[in-house]
Amino acid sequence: MITFTYAVKDSDGTLEQLLRDDWKAGKKNIHELRMANAVTEAEGVPAVWRTPLIAGTELTFHLPEAHSEYEPLEVPGVKILQEDAHFIAVFKPAGIAVHPDGTSRESTMMNAVMAHIQEQGGTYAEHIQRLDKGTSGIVIVAKHPMAKAMFDRMIASNEITRLYNAEVEGRLKRLKGSVNMPIGRDRHHPTRRRVSMSGQTAVTHFKVIERKEDTTLIEATLDTGRTHQIRVHMAHLGHPVVGDNLYEASALPDGSYRLTAVETSFIHPFTGEKVVISTL
């Protein structure tokens, strides 16, 4: 059983309104909670769904047991940055994948997260974001299935903002700009993407932070989350990410490339508070 508590804020809304309108928890989740009497007040008394809640009332949510299949392993470089009852913000180093792909035996970020979850007595963790194996930075992980559903909805509606830092080849002339070019698969390469008029809409905004002798440091934000988006768009401008030889940059000796998700922000789906996680 997965449980968490919530203190009702300054609202005279009902439990049903809280779940439906404020949390946008989804009809299926709401129905299952209601049928199972899975929301209780003090001393385990089932909550009343259509009576206005009193501010300060503490609700306890009892979710069915859920399991994730990641093997718990220690993975160097993976760090927990922030955590509550609903999510974990994890720093993923470059060079490891977010999750196993079924073909590689290499340890991944989710193996390390599952080790952390099991130390707390938990059995469930699922990532709601991905980063390319060579990209370092912040990844959000849900700690229970309802949180996963709610964060997935936020991702789909672009309610989670990510800030990236990158070093690109050459000296960008513009101080800031946007690239609005669709991205699709490169039919000549199994993993590469390319700007393609038949691809998916992709919008990247960038701002110059520093110009070096042969490279430029930029900040980038995305309106969309396409595979390799920043890498493809910057290469399309003629300024590939330093070290990204998949997109025609010169390879670095260690095989890495210079792209990091340095900040993530969102309105917490359960508390309504602004959450900012940063490595800056």
pLDDT, tens only, 169-207: 999 999 999 999 999 999 999 999 999 999 999 999 999
Please identify which of the residues 12, 21, 101, 132 carries the catalytic annotation: 132
Range of the domain at 151: 79-157
pLDDT by residue (tens digit) across 209-221? 999 999 999 999 9
From its phi and psi, is residue 11 left (phi > 0), alpha (psi between -120 and 50) or beta? beta
User: 151 is written with which tokens?
Assistant: 């964060």
Distance of alpha carbon 185 from alpha carbon 140, whole angstroms: 26
Same domain, 217 and 134: no
How many other CB atoms are there within 10 angstroms of residue 254's CB atom? Answer: 9
Could you tell me if 183 and 252 lie in one domain?
yes
- Taking the C-alpha atoms of residue 77 and residue 96, their distance in angstroms, rounded to an integer, is 9
Q: Assess if residue 256 is contained within a domain.
A: yes
140 and 196 share a domain? no
In a domain, residue 99? The reply is yes
**Same structural domain, 132 and 114:** yes
Report percent pLDDT > 70 for the chain: 100
Q: In residues, how long is the chain?
A: 280
Q: Which CATH number fits the domain that encloses residue 177?
A: 3.30.2350.10
Q: Which of 132, 157, 182 is the last residue of a domain?
A: 157
Whether residue 271 is contained in a domain is answered as no
- How would you write the chain as a 3-class SS string? CEEEEEECCCCCCCHHHHHHHHCCCCHHHHHHHHHCCCEECHHHCECCCCCCCCCCCEEEEEECCCCCCCCCCCCCCCEEEEECCCEEEEEECCCCCCCCCCCCCCCCHHHHHHHHHHHCCCCCCEECCCCCCCCEEEEEEECCHHHHHHHHHHHHCCCCEEEEEEEEECCCCCCEEEEECCEEECCCCCCCEEECCCCECCEEEEEEEEECCCEEEEEEEECCCCCCHHHHHHHHCCCCECCCHHHCCCCCCCCCCCEEEEEEEEECCCCCCEEEEECC
Do 85 and 26 share a domain, yes or no?
Answer: no
Cα–Cα distance measured from residue 121 to residue 119, given in angstroms and rounded to the nearest whole number = 5
- The radius of gyration of the chain's CA atoms, rounded to the nearest angstrom, is 21
Same domain, 93 and 173: no
- pLDDT reported for residue 249: 95
Residue 34 has pLDDT above 80, yes or no: yes
Kindly tell me if the per-residue pLDDT of 229 is higher than 90.
Answer: yes
Q: Is residue 113 part of a domain?
A: yes
**pLDDT band (50, 70, 90) for residue 87:** very high
Average pLDDT (228-253) is 96
Taking residues 263-279, what's their average pLDDT? 95
Which one has a higher pLDDT value, 9 or 75?
A: 75
Q: What's the number of domains the chain is made of? A: 3
Q: Band the pLDDT of 12: cuts 50, 70, 90.
A: low
Let me know if residue 277 belongs to a domain. no
- Rounded distance, CA 74 to CA 67, Å? 19
The pLDDT value recorded for residue 2 is 85
In a domain, 88, yes or no: yes
As a whole number, mean pLDDT of residues 251-264 equals: 93
Check pLDDT > 80 for residue 104.
no
Regarding whether 198 and 150 lie in a shared domain, the answer is no
Annotated active-site residue 10? The verdict is no
**Residues 168, 150 share a domain:** no
Final residue before a domain boundary, out of 117, 134, 157: 157
Same domain, 95 and 125: yes
Is the residue at 68 inside a domain? no
Both 107 and 178 in one domain: the answer is no
Q: What is the pLDDT of residue 246?
A: 96
**55 and 83 part of one domain:** no
- Tell me, what CATH number does 36's domain have? 3.10.290
How large is the average pLDDT for residues 118-142?
Answer: 95
Task: Tell me the mean pLDDT in the region 44-65.
Answer: 91
Lowest mean pLDDT among 9-13, 54-58, 260-264: 9-13
Q: Which of 247, 274, 272, 267 is nearest to 259 (CA)?
A: 247
pLDDT at 267 over 90: yes
Query: Within a domain: residue 276?
Result: no
Quick one: 122 and 169 in the same domain? Answer: no
